[in-house]
Structure 1
Amino acid sequence: MIGRPELRGALGASRALFVNVGLFSVFVNLLMLTGPIFMLQVYDRVLASGSEATLATLFLLITALFGLMGVLDFARTRVLARVGARFQALLDRRVFEAVLRRSISPDERGRHASGMRDLEAIQRALSGPAPFAFFDAPFAPLFLAAIFLFHWSLGLLAICGGLVLFVIALLNERRSREPMMAAAEASARSEGFAETLRREGETVQGLGMRGAAIARWGKLRDDTLGAQIAASDATGGYAITSKTLRFYLQSAMLGLGALLAIEQIISPGMMIAASILMGRALAPVEQAIAQWSVMQRAFKGWTSLAELLEKTPPPESRTELPTPHGHLEAQGVTVVAPGATAPTIRNVSFKIGPGQALGVIGPSASGKSTLAKALAGVWRPYAGAIRLDGAALDQFEDDARGRHIGYLPQEVALFDGTVAENIARMAEQVDDAAVVLAAQRAGAHEMILNLPKGYDTMIGPGGGNLSGGQRQRLALARALYGDPAVVILDEPNSNLDAQGEQALVAAIADLRKRGRAAVVMAHRPSAISACDMLLMLEKGAPRAFGPKDQVLRETTANYPQLVGGAPAQPAQSAQSAQSAQSAAKPSAQGPVQATARLGESMTARVAPVAPGPSRPGGQAE
């Protein structure tokens, strides 16, 4: 597995620190003998001799030794805290990158991401008292051996008590595993549902769903609390049992030692020392049981992280290619959405160059957004290839591909930061001139200046303080930032008013004028008025491709069906073809009216159609 070596490597980076913790643990456990030895000397020598000077000397000595033990114990605690911090620091970026890369899958977006929480669980286990059980356990035989030196029956009692505690620890591990996993899953479900409700608060409020939503959330919370109580009962019972048993064993050790002292087999000091030593020998077992929930969560996190990192290996370094000019080609592209089994688009081919704009049309669920994701490099083709200036998209590193291909997704997402930072794609160093230029090219400059602080206006998470049209225009500016060679626009006018659509058409025309290429996924035909090429998709398959006017004529001639309506009559088709030719020509009345006529003709003709035989114009079946 790829993931496990990465985790072991991050843990191995603190090998020297673990050695220091082990060395400190040696001295700490040796100094644990200070108490028993002191009691042995007090009962057997000081009380017998009545020497106050001896008592004072012993007291000063144990004061220094206990002080040293405290310093060493504190030191190993600090070292373990740094072990956990180093482990998390080494994997933070890698895990978060893997989470982000997995999030492109629709199935993964619907789940509650646990990668970072798994990493934090391991960090807490490494930094807390749980590892002390591991480092202190090897010294338990030393303490038991010391008890055997006093008398074999005392040693036997300590060993039997230790075995009982060990059995309790095993039962704790087996009985608590499922309840704790169920509690963790229930907590993740309730947290995920609560976050969805918070994010979609407008929908909840507008549809009057608050009562039903809170009721469902409350049921999930009740399930979570029930699972947590069950997990607490499963672990708490064993922890209390082990703690009570240890206290009982210490008292039993005192009772047995007293009997042996009465019979003058051992001294009273040995009786007290044996009780203290047994408590110290059994402490690691009790500590492991008390920290078992933390350790078990860390074990689960380790397994989950290993799986995540194995499924998402780090990207390979790639040779930096020259800046492309904008030659975009799709060669028999078939795309299967992550987590799905059936292809969303099949055998799509086209080719455009600098100064060209391709409009992609088709009914809902025809594959337009899937094609946009593939062209932007978000989803990889299952078959075929997408090439930019002859190089397959996966030959570019992700950041480099993002600089060369601007992307406006259908679902616009803005981030917590200023307008300028969002346009600059959250870069650490914002190029103010490039930000303003991108906004001007997107026709959003004046709109931004009208915001409370202009380009320095803070945008909340998701852009909730902006309208849908404002978010879309800022996202267009972000796609144009850095002057990419190709721009992919997925439903760029879905939230725009007439002014916004004018700005969009002008931005696409400006891209063509400056020798850039553009691909526009359009459900509303006004978005393709500035395009010179057209690709029609139906049920994921290409039905027509070529010059826009030609595709519109062919669509009318060969596919005279309407969206959700009856077939058009021949006379209507001829009339529609004539109106399509006039709509495709430049209008002296301005782009808005020309767009309106194009929209009317598209409404009548560019619609889901029945498959037909292969036709000229580059279209594929």
Structure 2
Amino acid sequence: MKLLIARMWATPRFGGELALASVLINLLALVSSVYSIHVMNRYLGQGVDATLVTLTIGAAIAVIMEFWLRQARLRMAQLFCGGIEREYSGLAFTAFGTARFQLFEQIPLGQRREALAGLVTIQQGINGGNLAAILDGPFALLFIFALSLLSPILGLLALAVALVLTVLIFVIQRRMAEPAAEMVKHSARTSGLAQFLAGGGETIRAFNCYSGLQRRWEEGQEDLSALRRLVQRHQNLVQQLTQSATTVLTIGLFAVGAREVVAGDLNVGSLIGASILGTRALASIGRVAQLAEPLEKARHAIGQLDAMAKLPTERQQGSVPRTLKGEVQAVDLSFRFPGHPLPLFEGLNFTLQAGGVMAVVGGNGTGKTTFAKLLTGLLEPDRGHLKVDGMDLRHLVPEWWRQQLVYLPQEPIFFDGTVRENLTVLAPDMDDATLLDLCNGLDLGGFLDSSPDGLDMPLRGGGSTLPLGIRRRFALVRGLAGGGRVVILDEPTEGVDAQGCQAIARQLNEMVRRGCTVIAMTKDDFIIRAAQMVLDLNQKPTPRLVTAPAGAPAEMAPEHA
């Protein structure tokens, strides 16, 4: 609520129009009370039909005007809230897409998913209908003021009931804030298991996970249901309090008002009008009270997105060399994950000449993938330098540097879209003929021909429906489409069949002939034998470096070719 009010103050034009519309709407809302008073006092007292017709026509015009103004205000409120939604949508995309990878990866995946899911929560809390209800809330005082003009005693009674109701609702909302926030967090945690249930059918059955997961699922759903019931009880309590307060106020108004009518200080029409005004006042308060939960959830979601947005972003400035030869050099290079007592490696020094081939070997967890991410600039060393053509990677514009790479990550992931859209992300203007040549070069033509969609084949779920070997080769095509001169491959043949390995070897040989610098994290002998330099990350803390005799890289050919 504070955010909406602050934004209205920050945009005087929108805020002023919404405020003016709300004033007119609530002034017109007084018509029903005025109509009741005049019908009871003038028509019933005099019996003139013309009076009743005039009053009815006037009231009908007021109702139509109120309806029109409410619709116009709703459209303005939707535009206003739509701007906030777009702002946080853009904020989320920017934070997730440009935050420094090293810091971004330190945030747990579940927390990142929860922050993204918060966009829906923000849309549910910050919308035109809710803003309209908030704007109507303060006008409860207008109805009470109008009531006090009819009878000061009845006005004080209505004010007292409204104040008591407001205090009780405030207390309930404070008590509801914590379980509501906890429910959002718990929903995000259980969503991870829900995603596994949706996509992990093979694992659940093949490894008999059903019983163990069932317990976790039931416990999670039970905890979530308990929190949901607690929040719903608070919501129902607010509704019941509002209804009870309305009933109590109606009884009080008629009880006190009846005595004033008997005493001659009030007429029957004014008593009925006072009842209508009191009901409207409490209804305005009740509508605002019902927004407590969605607004609290939206506040929590906004806090999470704001925290993500505070992450430092990747550099947008730096050097952009005119040419790139492709010499890669490490000078006293060291890297340690935050919170780990020992470095993954340290004191690494090497110079790989442009057009050379390096094989990086090591067991699981020795740092091959981390080294690949250092080379791409996704991670930064704790000490030392990684240089290309004598320039520190930290001094280059990251976007430019990655355009110079042919990068194959260990776990290739694709966005939801067609094969064409994914493979040409580095070269959006690439024509189909060129793209198909790249695919055929990695023996993917047959796979594409097997689908009626061809390059329009849809990819879903990060490409997880593709066979691993096909997915890796598609990912290599994606990297090749950019035309980079420095090739960084993380386990290029993992999960690839013999025919695919031959295709990858041919492509590697072609890149070497073109003078590309190749650095491959691999366990494949055919790549290791062809390498001029082998970096062994098994040796700690300083990796062992083996350099082959000077000369051109050997031809790569898998033994099972």
Query: Structure 1 length as normaliser, TM-score?
Result: 0.81
Question: Is 1:285 the equivalent of 2:285?
Answer: yes
1:304 is matched by which residue type in structure 2? Q
Which secondary structure does the structure 2 equivalent of 1:129 belong to?
helix
Matches within 5 A, 1:144-155: 144-155=144-155
2:557 is matched by which residue type in structure 1? P
1:97 aligns with one of 94, 97, 104: 94
Match of residue 272 from structure 1: 272
Question: Is 1:53 the equivalent of 2:45?
Answer: no
Q: Deviations over 1:457-507 (max 9, x none)?
A: 333323344322111222222222221121111111121223222222222
Match of residue 217 from structure 2: 217
Query: How far is 1:258 from its partner?
Result: 1.7
Query: How far is 1:317 from its partner?
Result: 5.1
Match of residue 326 from structure 1: 326
Partners in 1 of 2:27 and 2:397 — Cα distance? 56
Which secondary structure does the structure 2 equivalent of 1:591 belong to?
coil
Query: How far is 1:545 from its partner?
Result: 2.2
Which secondary structure does the structure 2 equivalent of 1:348 belong to?
strand
With over 3 angstroms needed to count, the CA separation of the structure-2 counterparts of 1:526 and 1:215, relative to structure 1, is: farther
With over 3 angstroms needed to count, the CA separation of the structure-2 counterparts of 1:136 and 1:446, relative to structure 1, is: closer
Deviating more after overlay: 368-377 vs 429-438 = 429-438
Query: How far is 1:529 from its partner?
Result: 3.1
Match of residue 591 from structure 1: 557
With over 3 angstroms needed to count, the CA separation of the structure-2 counterparts of 1:317 and 1:147, relative to structure 1, is: farther
With over 3 angstroms needed to count, the CA separation of the structure-2 counterparts of 1:512 and 1:100, relative to structure 1, is: same
8 Å CA contact 2:314, 2:398 repeated in 1: no
8 Å CA contact 2:114, 2:185 repeated in 1: no
Which secondary structure does the structure 1 equivalent of 2:348 belong to?
strand
Structure 2 unpaired stretches of 5+: none
Query: How far is 1:101 from its partner?
Result: 5.1
Query: How far is 1:307 from its partner?
Result: 1.3
Query: How far is 1:282 from its partner?
Result: 2.7
Query: How far is 1:586 from its partner?
Result: 6.2
2:75 aligns with one of 60, 73, 78: 78
Query: How far is 1:172 from its partner?
Result: 1.6
8 Å CA contact 1:357, 1:532 repeated in 2: yes
1:203 is matched by which residue type in structure 2? T
Deviating more after overlay: 516-525 vs 527-536 = 527-536
Question: Is 1:234 the equivalent of 2:200?
Answer: no
Match of residue 207 from structure 1: 207
With over 3 angstroms needed to count, the CA separation of the structure-2 counterparts of 1:415 and 1:539, relative to structure 1, is: farther
Match of residue 376 from structure 1: 376
Query: How far is 1:450 from its partner?
Result: 5.2
Match of residue 295 from structure 1: 295
Query: How far is 1:546 from its partner?
Result: 4.5
Question: Is 1:354 the equivalent of 2:351?
Answer: no
Partners in 1 of 2:224 and 2:356 — Cα distance? 56
Match of residue 574 from structure 1: none
Partners in 2 of 1:172 and 1:435 — Cα distance? 62
Match of residue 309 from structure 2: 309
2:304 is matched by which residue type in structure 1? S
Query: How far is 1:122 from its partner?
Result: 2.6
8 Å CA contact 1:443, 1:507 repeated in 2: no
Partners in 1 of 2:297 and 2:395 — Cα distance? 39
Which secondary structure does the structure 2 equivalent of 1:351 belong to?
strand
With over 3 angstroms needed to count, the CA separation of the structure-2 counterparts of 1:500 and 1:378, relative to structure 1, is: same
Deviating more after overlay: 207-216 vs 35-44 = 207-216
Matches within 5 A, 1:159-174: 159-174=159-174
Match of residue 364 from structure 1: 364
Match of residue 27 from structure 1: 24
Which secondary structure does the structure 1 equivalent of 2:360 belong to?
strand
Match of residue 42 from structure 1: 39
Partners in 2 of 1:351 and 1:11 — Cα distance? 59
With over 3 angstroms needed to count, the CA separation of the structure-2 counterparts of 1:174 and 1:118, relative to structure 1, is: same
With over 3 angstroms needed to count, the CA separation of the structure-2 counterparts of 1:389 and 1:8, relative to structure 1, is: farther
Question: Is 1:407 the equivalent of 2:407?
Answer: yes
With over 3 angstroms needed to count, the CA separation of the structure-2 counterparts of 1:483 and 1:254, relative to structure 1, is: same
Query: How far is 1:100 from its partner?
Result: 4.4
8 Å CA contact 1:365, 1:539 repeated in 2: no
2:22 is matched by which residue type in structure 1? S
8 Å CA contact 2:73, 2:132 repeated in 1: no
Question: Is 1:115 the equivalent of 2:115?
Answer: yes
Query: How far is 1:41 from its partner?
Result: 1.2
Partners in 2 of 1:255 and 1:427 — Cα distance? 79
1:229 is matched by which residue type in structure 2? R
8 Å CA contact 2:419, 2:457 repeated in 1: yes
Higher RCO (CA-CA < 8 Å; seq separation 6+): 2
1:37 is matched by which residue type in structure 2? V
Q: Deviations over 1:173-193 (max 9, x none)?
A: 211012112222221111111
With over 3 angstroms needed to count, the CA separation of the structure-2 counterparts of 1:121 and 1:357, relative to structure 1, is: same
Question: Is 1:532 the equivalent of 2:532?
Answer: yes
Question: Is 1:68 the equivalent of 2:48?
Answer: no
Match of residue 511 from structure 2: 511
Query: How far is 1:249 from its partner?
Result: 0.9
Query: Structure 2 length as normaliser, TM-score?
Result: 0.90
Match of residue 618 from structure 1: none
Partners in 2 of 1:8 and 1:476 — Cα distance? 51
With over 3 angstroms needed to count, the CA separation of the structure-2 counterparts of 1:41 and 1:9, relative to structure 1, is: closer
Partners in 1 of 2:31 and 2:285 — Cα distance? 21
Match of residue 139 from structure 2: 139
Question: Is 1:547 the equivalent of 2:513?
Answer: no
Query: How far is 1:232 from its partner?
Result: 1.0
1:56 is matched by which residue type in structure 2? V
Partners in 1 of 2:189 and 2:337 — Cα distance? 24
2:64 is matched by which residue type in structure 1? G
Deviating more after overlay: 141-150 vs 164-173 = 141-150
8 Å CA contact 1:250, 1:275 repeated in 2: yes
Q: Deviations over 1:75-123 (max 9, x none)?
A: 1112212222222223323312323456751653254512333233233
2:147 is matched by which residue type in structure 1? I
Query: How far is 1:52 from its partner?
Result: 1.0
Backbone CA RMSD of aligned residues: 3.1
Structure 1 unpaired stretches of 5+: 551-583, 597-621
Query: How far is 1:455 from its partner?
Result: 3.3
Question: Is 1:416 the equivalent of 2:416?
Answer: yes
2:301 is matched by which residue type in structure 1? G
- The number of residue pairs the alignment matches comes to 556
With over 3 angstroms needed to count, the CA separation of the structure-2 counterparts of 1:11 and 1:46, relative to structure 1, is: closer
Deviating more after overlay: 26-35 vs 329-338 = 329-338
1:157 is matched by which residue type in structure 2? L
Which secondary structure does the structure 2 equivalent of 1:329 belong to?
strand
Which secondary structure does the structure 1 equivalent of 2:537 belong to?
strand
Match of residue 477 from structure 2: 477
Query: How far is 1:327 from its partner?
Result: 2.4
8 Å CA contact 1:238, 1:289 repeated in 2: yes
Query: How far is 1:300 from its partner?
Result: 1.2
Q: Deviations over 1:197-219 (max 9, x none)?
A: 33333322322323433442233
